[in-house]
Chains A and B, each alone.
Chain A
């Protein structure tokens, strides 16, 4: 919103400081000036950012009122005087059929007006504010909104058929609005109508058929007060947001309509014409009682101290200061004893809030009763007054203190586990990344942990972001693809984040969130050669062994079983199981998926279900006794048939259960070449024997070696020379 400093100064002639100082002072009181632009002889243009609760300050007079409050200066009253009216036999008919939705309606007739371009101060200020000028009668309504914030409307009186009726729209009723759109109305819409037809959508936008044209001779000026929620619903329903709806839906000043009406009339009359009859002003007393005449609220200075705390000067906010600020804001302050009876009858504007918040202020022995200005419908409770006092006093004049504390600090139960996982992956050379929370429906179908469990977004950002991610893998893939497309050929990434699942059958009654980890690697991510399965498995082993599981093993299922995730290469992937339950899947991306994404380089992926992993405790170090006796190493080079996996070979050796066999490991695996026959592979198995009690004898080691060879031979292995 744009504001002219010269206009503010017209309303508060006592301001002597510079525009820039004025802008700073307003900003520090919550009337934020985002930019100050020099207009030369015309002062400055302020670019304002007014918070949504301060509709009263969304105009020049409102901001002038703030300035007057801050500086304790006088605010010039608005001049609403008009030339004498020609008498009429009977007043123009205005009927409010919906007293709950329209609290006040003023109408004034102007005869023999002259429609033409705006001139003088209106034209000049429109130019400075870059406001589009249309014609004097229309500009007058916009000018008044800019001046004092109350929306008004001018009708071509000769197009009206009978008096004004404020009623609900009829179902299916049609109205062509000022923006040229033909709208179908709903009974929840409030309309300003004549006896025959709707003239405008109340508080939102006027109608096409009764608008001011160059031929207009006679005008009806409307200034009214409409129910905020009704205006908001109509504005939302018809997707039309106007200056008028913006103000009405935030709560306009109930006392403003007669003034606004006069101000509009004055401007129109400048080009000619005369007032006919007195102002018609229909006031619904209940609405008046809810707004302008709403009950005073109880106020205790002790609460100011309790909520705001000490001031810089140490004096705190005295009762006198508090009362002075409230009075400058337009409140009336009296001792509670006298107005106690009305103080309990607080009513909220918004019925949904009526039962909430503070209980109504009962008689407060040392308190005061504060009556509230009609333009500040946002003031409803004692706390609102405390905020006003803090605001006008100046937030930065309060001391900086630290509250004492004697409690304990509690860590989240999985905080250490999460930190261990992150630390481990960073040490393993994976870089942390964060990808989108959303994915495309096609990816959701492929990567979901359980079929048909992905959750759809009702109003997605884009088609590619239509689903809540059921897996971190599609995001990981996208990030790897991005890196490859930017000539980053070596990449190792991980992401820790939430994955989502729900049941579309029951309309997503609940959405489950699970902590998940994805890892991905491609190229020479870890130095050395291309990333291989063993790199991924090694990372998984290192990661999973941070946790104290009774068992950890890797396996896979036949491709035909349907148990493998669809995104993994069936022959180059594995499941990791901790204590018998799946915690991770990893391996090479399925060639079909790679093809679909036009990936030329092999990509390795894994997903760890942290919700399951976190059920395990972190492994606590437990020291085993170190042997004082020498270890004996024996290497066994065997040819094994391809069908015998390493796990089978190792299992056979393990099954020997030789207590002195301290460890064994595959030192080398060779396939192909002249030395190794077709259908076989060569395994170099290194075994370490050691005892904690004694030095091993050569004969025992020989015997165990024979057993090892025997176990491997049983599987079809042959010792190599």
Chain B
């Protein structure tokens, strides 16, 4: 069907031009319809659009050469349209040809993908970040402190006087060779993150809003839910006019963010030497919605954290370095929660020991 002759052009009127271009367009359509292979496509491209021997060029050269000046513009416009048509057909055929490839190129796509596996963030770190971020959104800065503390910061300044029975509740691992020092300077493994409250207030006058994640240690026997190493997130908010109602509202909001907006909180009187009033906080069981299930021991509630209003005695200790913490003028609240316990609850971890084992079969599940 190769016809390389230049089609006839009867005259230069609009109608005559249209008729001539329509004929060429029909020719393009006819030859484009037959395109199947990549070779044919290339042949089509060369035949019509080739720079030197292309038919489009030949026709346009011939017609433009013969055309009077006033016809050159309408001619040019029509050539552009024609070129666009050729290109469109070429593109369409290209899509069509890729649809048909030899069967021999077919592969088994059910084979597993070659995964470049990401490492998994530790569930404790993940949970800790989640908690910290909630409080950061509420205007809390992040603070940290040493894991080896003095007796003063871990106990005395938190209103655990030397020899006080309250110290019995936190069995302590101590650094060797401290006996000759005064009690308050003796080094021990901090039993809670609360010392950072004191350290922060000593550094910074009120107001303060701080959230403190960290590792703590106690001289406790390990079992399924207890580990001598565990993690806490501590919080402290001190300003003029901070109330127990603010403490309740803050923790209620935080628990809703952490466990979902349908979770409710309730507060029970408790005892911590460094807060007064002190409270334990329960959340309605996020698993059964409070109806009672295995996870909440069929009570509908899960105890999750301890908190309270900062005891004036604690401000008294801080005032030795920061007089701004006058308990007659300012007030504040503090809270602390066990990251391990929350992570275990969220992810259904039955053994706390798994968190500290490095067992990949466990860790990989958090990828």
Measured between beta carbons, the chain A residues less than 8 angstroms from B173 are 457-461
Number of A positions contacting B (CB below 8 A): 94
Within 8 A of A (CB), among B228-252: 228-229, 237, 239, 241-246, 248-250, 252
Measured between beta carbons, the chain A residues less than 8 angstroms from B252 are 400
Are A396 and B266 closer than 8 Å at their CB atoms? yes
Cβ of A678 within 8 Å of any chain B Cβ, yes or no, is no
Known: A387-B277, A407-B209, A498-B215. A433 touches B165 (CB 8 A): no
Which of chain B's residues has its CB closest to A466's CB?
Answer: B176
Measured between beta carbons, the chain A residues less than 8 angstroms from B108 are none
Known: A407-B139, A492-B119. A356 touches B316 (CB 8 A): yes
Are A307 and B215 closer than 8 Å at their CB atoms? no
Q: Roughly how many angstroms separate A54 CA and B278 CA in the complex, as a whole number?
A: 13
Known: A383-B312, A403-B250. A409 touches B140 (CB 8 A): yes
Are B237 and A403 closer than 8 Å at their CB atoms? yes
Known: A308-B243, A309-B246. A504 touches B177 (CB 8 A): yes
Of A27, A408, A410, A478, the most chain B CB neighbours within 10 A belong to A410
Cβ of B4 within 8 Å of any chain A Cβ, yes or no, is no
Measured between beta carbons, the chain B residues less than 8 angstroms from A390 are 244, 269, 277
Cβ of A220 within 8 Å of any chain B Cβ, yes or no, is no
Measured between beta carbons, the chain B residues less than 8 angstroms from A229 are 163
Are A434 and B355 closer than 8 Å at their CB atoms? yes
Which of chain B's residues has its CB closest to A505's CB?
Answer: B177
Are A456 and B253 closer than 8 Å at their CB atoms? no
Measured between beta carbons, the chain A residues less than 8 angstroms from B237 are 403
Are A411 and B119 closer than 8 Å at their CB atoms? no
Q: Roughly how many angstroms separate A426 CA and B189 CA in the complex, as a whole number?
A: 30
Known: A232-B163, A400-B248, A507-B177. A493 touches B358 (CB 8 A): yes
Q: Roughly how many angstroms separate A436 CA and B358 CA in the complex, as a whole number?
A: 10
Cβ of B166 within 8 Å of any chain A Cβ, yes or no, is yes
Known: A32-B268, A410-B141, A431-B364. A508 touches B356 (CB 8 A): no
Cβ of B287 within 8 Å of any chain A Cβ, yes or no, is no
Are B120 and A426 closer than 8 Å at their CB atoms? yes
- Contact flags B261-286 to A (C-beta < 8 A → 1, else 0): 00000111111000011110000000
B124 shortest CB reach to chain A, Å: 6
Are B357 and A482 closer than 8 Å at their CB atoms? yes
Are B119 and A403 closer than 8 Å at their CB atoms? no
Cβ of A667 within 8 Å of any chain B Cβ, yes or no, is no
Cβ of B116 within 8 Å of any chain A Cβ, yes or no, is yes
Measured between beta carbons, the chain A residues less than 8 angstroms from B147 are 437, 498, 500, 513
Q: Roughly how many angstroms separate A118 CA and B304 CA in the complex, as a whole number?
A: 44
Are A306 and B316 closer than 8 Å at their CB atoms? no
Within 8 A of A (CB), among B114-157: 114-122, 124-125, 136, 138-144, 146-148
Q: Roughly how many angstroms separate A98 CA and B64 CA in the complex, as a whole number?
A: 129
Are A400 and B245 closer than 8 Å at their CB atoms? yes
Interface residues of B (CB under 8 A from A): 114-122, 124-125, 136, 138-144, 146-148, 159, 161-166, 168-169, 173-178, 180-181, 187, 189, 207, 209, 215, 217, 219, 228-229, 237, 239, 241-246, 248-250, 252-253, 266-271, 276-279, 309, 311-313, 316-317, 327-328, 331, 355-361, 363-364, 367
Q: Could you write out 13 A-B pairs with CB less than 8 Å apart?
A: A51-B270, A309-B243, A383-B276, A383-B311, A395-B277, A403-B237, A407-B139, A427-B119, A432-B120, A455-B148, A458-B174, A508-B176, A527-B116
